[in-house]
Amino acid sequence: MHDIKVGEKYEVYIDNMAHEGQGVGRIEGVAVFVEGALTGERVVAQIDKISKNYVIGHVVEILEKSRDRVKPLCPHAYKCGGCSLQHLSYEGQLKYKTQKVKDNLERIGKVYTKVQDTIGMEKPQRYRNKAQFPVGMVEGKAVTGFYAPRSHDIVPVESCMIQHEISDEIARIVRNWIRKYNISVYDEKTGKGLIRHIVTRVAFKTGEVMAVIVINGRDIPYKKQLIDALKEEIRGLKSIVININTKKTNVIMGEENITIYGSNNIIDYIIDTKFEISPLSFFQVNPVQTEVLYGKALEYADLKGEETVIDVYCGIGTISLLAAKKAGFVYGIEAVHQAVEDAKRNAYINDIKNVEFISGDAEKVMPELADKGVKADVVIMDPPRKGCDTPVLEAIIKMNPKKIVYVSCNPSTLARDLRYLEDYGYKTIEVQPVDMFPYTYHVESVALVLPSTF
């Protein structure tokens, strides 16, 4: 095999970057993933872990530096697990993401198509409308922050450059309230303590703000003092909610919410459509780029007003409702029952009637619709990270749509699913990556897929 040892240092030339943004090179012919290294760099890497076919290490010295290397904007860059690409220029991040989509399509899916340049943001900071801060004790003091990479150790963060400023403010106010009134914070190891997480949501278009305190219990002490402090300092505050999570779990929120101030939800817009967001609703976290992403999906769908559209994995109905304004009729399918309720409510508040939301697993609902003789002109899908289940793809092929628009948050499952569609008579025309999560390794894309006979 090889005689690479943990703790030893090796000189490595980095010729590529991996899925999570690590540099990739070879030591004695063995692949090495180097945390913190960039393509084109020559580095000294210290080995942290040895697996059968590869080794993992981190940079200790940079001998030749990439032109795209920059000094991180955030002081917590190397400690916090939130952003893994702070050391790569924004231009470099966009190039990396385009390349990643291309590589995945070609290597995993053998799909050769036009991949456009990733659409970036003019201002790639402070773009998130939702923050989830774990609360814990560090050196005897209650802190809020984010988890260190691959661990549940909290890195105290006072200001996060990818969250909206208001989220930082809310965390600060709650943190001060915890310290002032000596309120217990949750300890994952013992399962004791009250305050678990602070979750914030800021509607970018309407300015409405929601603060959620996740607790291991049913109520909080000094409630009035907390409400008063938030009301006094937070502009646009519309809702304060206690979320009850008494389970020993790393799922952040429980099922039950108690509104202690204001309304149960806040309102935001995507393009020209209004959405109600409750503490548990899924809502895209980068509102600026969501409009770019969905705008691209609608441009590919190119609806003329008569079409029947099926939106698979429709969530709270975001794409369905935008499409309904331009289509004949839209069916939205979603497994999470609460999301379907939200979707129906969103259709109602926008007075959109040519849409039907169906609660159930796509792999069951799709074949049922096909058997009922529902013919989809356009199928739009935005599946979770694991991509589409084969029965869903089978049902789509059976329906024989004139157009498929695939929105993906994971290029490797996109590649696999496009391969399947291409094997059954479709062709990927082009793919447009969109940078929804600057400074992280994630990339969203939209693919236009047409029957290969067109």
The pLDDT tens digits of the residues spanning 236-275 come to 999 999 999 999 998 999 999 999 999 999 999 999 999 9
Helices (H), 39-89: none
Say yes or no to pLDDT of 425 above 70. yes
pLDDT of residue 1: 54
State percent of the chain over pLDDT 90: 92
Say yes or no to pLDDT of 150 above 90. no
Which residues are part of the catalytic machinery? 409
Please state the rounded mean pLDDT for residues 93-113.
97
State percent of the chain over pLDDT 70: 100
Collapsing DSSP to helix, strand or coil, 328 comes out as coil
Strand partners, 132: 199
Compute the distance between CA of residue 210 and CA of residue 231 in angstroms, rounded to an integer. 11
pLDDT of residue 143: 95
pLDDT of residue 3: 83
pLDDT band of residue 454 (cuts 50, 70, 90) is low
Compute the distance between CA of residue 266 and CA of residue 316 in angstroms, rounded to an integer. 14
Pairing of strands 130-138, 195-202: antiparallel
Say yes or no to pLDDT of 453 above 90. no
Report which residue type is found at 258. Answer: I
Please state the rounded mean pLDDT for residues 54-72.
96
Q: What residues have CB less than 8 Å from 64, skipping those under 6 apart?
A: 40, 41, 42
Please state the rounded mean pLDDT for residues 88-116.
97
pLDDT of residue 46: 95
Say yes or no to pLDDT of 443 above 70. yes
Please state the rounded mean pLDDT for residues 173-180.
97
Compute the distance between CA of residue 417 and CA of residue 11 in angstroms, rounded to an integer. 38
pLDDT band of residue 332 (cuts 50, 70, 90) is very high
Compute the distance between CA of residue 94 and CA of residue 442 in angstroms, rounded to an integer. 11
Helices vs strands, H then E, count in the chain: 9, 22
Compute the distance between CA of residue 445 and CA of residue 167 in angstroms, rounded to an integer. 27
Q: Global pTM?
A: 0.93
Burial class (CB in 10 A: 0-12, 13-18, 19+), 185: buried
Report which residue type is found at 273. Answer: T
Q: What residues have CB less than 8 Å from 176, skipping those under 6 apart?
A: 229
Please state the rounded mean pLDDT for residues 148-168.
93
- Phi and psi of 419, rounded to 5°? -55, -45
pLDDT band of residue 149 (cuts 50, 70, 90) is confident
